[in-house]
Amino acid sequence: MTWSPEFLSGAQQLASPVAGAGPTYVLSGGGNLGALQVGMLQALVESGVHPSRIVGTSIGAINGAFFAGRPSLDGIAEIAQLWRSLRRRSVLRPNAITLVRGLAGMSDHLFDSLAIREVVRSFLNFDRLEESPIPLAVVATDAHTMAPVVLDQGDATVALLASSAVPRLLPPVEISGRRLIDGAGAADIALREAAALGASEVYVLATAPLQVTRVISELASWASKATSLAVHVITAPSLHLPYADLDHSQELIDLGYERAREALKLAPVQTSDPLSWAAYSAHVETSELRFRRTHAHRRATEGKRHPRNNTPSITDDNAPGTPPQPCASI
């Protein structure tokens, strides 16, 4: 089944019902920063927070699918090992002809999706979305209308490739007559899609501060609506990591775990309570400041202990030769 959700209207009738009474995990896009979500998943499962549904966009869809097939601490350890084993060529394998055609404007992409397809197929342990042990919804973007498209049936690998097809970088994927591209273009954090699927409690696994800002803004827009949704947002700090740099996965996993443990101590944001999301907004700002101070101190301490170690950290504001840059949402 594929559908383009209209906020809490016809979309809810088209969607499959939520299985069980547990919360919904919403995993955002974020490319190589998706390793953060592995640590977040570990913290959630350790705390006994198990989802009844997973909604994922881009790399969040891929992580969500991997977790849906391995919803345990042992399974998360396998996902973490996969992330640690990946390198740039594992996901973006250059092909001279494809690259030249793309640069010359003869095609709409610079890389083919064969490398990512191999990774997904080798690790995914179910073939179709409807076979997922935990109900799974994958969010892509209609390349023509730029509207979100939610996939919950069909070939799982094809759906994940569609959700992570970064424009100009990877080829669009055609499903049911529609050309689909990276879901981050329409729903980087698919809160509305989760609500349309019947979620009443959501855990958002974000990979960037801007995503958290968007969540807060979206919750503010819901405050006057009758919809009541409890939202736990696991915030992501400002990180500076070049696109397709996969050499810091363990550091990201550890950081995601740390952020999730902190978030689990907080009460959820209630969309029906403006004071709730206003207070959370203040918490996000305070949390970011505390993160910068803590990691600046940690980095300074490590520098004193190991003065010859000048390797830049993902938390450095001005890592040598690495200008701050957002990461495309594979």
Cα–Cα distance for residue pair 68/138, rounded to 1 Å = 12
Cα–Cα distance for residue pair 142/230, rounded to 1 Å = 29
- Running along the chain, 330 residues long, what does each successive block of 10 average in pLDDT? 43 40 93 96 98 97 98 98 90 72 72 89 96 98 96 98 92 95 94 92 92 77 71 86 87 95 88 72 71 63 52 46 39
**What pLDDT score does 227 carry?**
67
**Burial class of 204 by CB neighbour count within 10 A (0 to 12, 13 to 18, 19+):** buried
Contact 37, 256 (CB under 8 A): yes
**What pLDDT score does 322 carry?**
37
Cα–Cα distance for residue pair 164/29, rounded to 1 Å = 8
**What pLDDT score does 31 carry?**
92
**What pLDDT score does 218 carry?**
76
What would the two tokens of residue 238 be?
Answer: 């400002």
**What pLDDT score does 229 carry?**
86
**What pLDDT score does 16 carry?**
46
Half-sphere exposure of 151 (CA within 13 A, CB side): 36
Q: Which of 68, 46, 40 is nearest to 258 (CA)?
A: 40
**What pLDDT score does 310 carry?**
45
